């Protein structure tokens, strides 16, 4: 079915002709679910090239206003505290104040596109190596779909997809559960 027919069905009017070569539509269809486990409630976890390295376990979070980097990635990229600039405190989901170690700007490559991202470095446990949030999503023009477990963006006349993995997302949840159980166990032992 053509785009003009879909538009006509949605609006209830006759199909409109699109003049010239229209760029491809940035969206999702049932074909985008192929290869995914459905139904699911998995986080959207992707692989990105950060600071020149392929970095797995990067969570895409549309609800966050801050791009975050965790200690494993900071150490893995051989960054030093001297590389950081100061950043203001963050408020965690529990309402706790989190004092970041600082902020660092690093190139993030998504297929042919590369852009600098300001990561706030926090010294806290996370099963993820980093979180990319609204600043990155909006700057790159990313459209993400939790249902389709995909991230897409326009690059010139092409639609690009970023590698994602439901199995890695599930491994991260398991790691978080095990970490929480271990923390509770050691807190009980301290009593």
- pTM for the complete prediction? 0.77
Query: Looking at the domain assignment, is residue 31 inside a domain?
Result: no
Cα torsion 166, 170, 173, 177 to 10°: value is 180
> Residue 138 sits in a domain of what CATH number?
2.40.70.10
Average pLDDT estimate for 25-48 = 88
Query: Looking at the domain assignment, is residue 35 inside a domain?
Result: no
Query: Looking at the domain assignment, is residue 83 inside a domain?
Result: yes
Query: Looking at the domain assignment, is residue 186 inside a domain?
Result: no
Query: Looking at the domain assignment, is residue 188 inside a domain?
Result: no
Query: Looking at the domain assignment, is residue 189 inside a domain?
Result: no
Do residues 64 and 131 touch, judged by C-beta distance below 8 A?
yes
Q: Tally the domains of the chain.
A: 1
Query: Looking at the domain assignment, is residue 176 inside a domain?
Result: yes
Strand partners, 45: 59
Across the chain, what does the average pLDDT equal? 82
Domain containing 139: what range?
A: 45-181
Angstrom distances, CA of residue 62 to CA of 32, 38, 138: 19, 21, 10
Query: Looking at the domain assignment, is residue 6 inside a domain?
Result: no
Q: What angle do CA 181, 91, 79 make, to 5 degrees?
A: 80
Q: What are phi and psi of 122, to 5 degrees?
A: -120, 145
Helices (H), ranges, 77-165: 134-140
Give the residue from 58, 71, 44 showing the smallest Cα distance to 131.
Answer: 58
Reported as a single tens digit per residue, the pLDDT across 57-111 is 999 998 888 899 999 999 999 999 999 997 777 776 677 787 889 999 999 998 7
Strand partners, 24: none
């Amino acid at each position: 079915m053509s785009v003009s027919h879909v538009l006509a069905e949605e609006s209830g009017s006759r199909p409109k002709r699109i003049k010239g070569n229209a760029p491809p539509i940035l969206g999702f269809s049932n074909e985008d679910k192929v290869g995914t486990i459905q139904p699911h409630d998995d986080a959207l976890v992707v692989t990105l090239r950060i600071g020149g390295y392929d970095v797995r376990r990067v969570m895409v979070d549309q609800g966050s206003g801050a791009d975050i980097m965790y200690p494993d990635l900071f150490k893995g990229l051989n960054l030093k505290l001297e590389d950081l600039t100061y950043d203001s405190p963050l408020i965690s989901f529990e309402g706790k104040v989190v004092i970041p170690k600082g902020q660092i700007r690093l190139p993030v490559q998504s297929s042919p596109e590369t852009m600098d991202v300001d990561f706030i470095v926090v010294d806290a446990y996370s099963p993820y190596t980093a979180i990319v949030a609204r600043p990155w999503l909006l700057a790159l023009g990313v459209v993400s779909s939790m249902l389709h477990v995909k991230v897409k963006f326009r690059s010139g006349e092409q639609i690009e997809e970023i590698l994602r993995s439901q199995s890695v997302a599930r491994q991260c949840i398991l790691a978080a559960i095990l970490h929480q159980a271990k923390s509770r166990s050691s807190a009980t032992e301290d009593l």
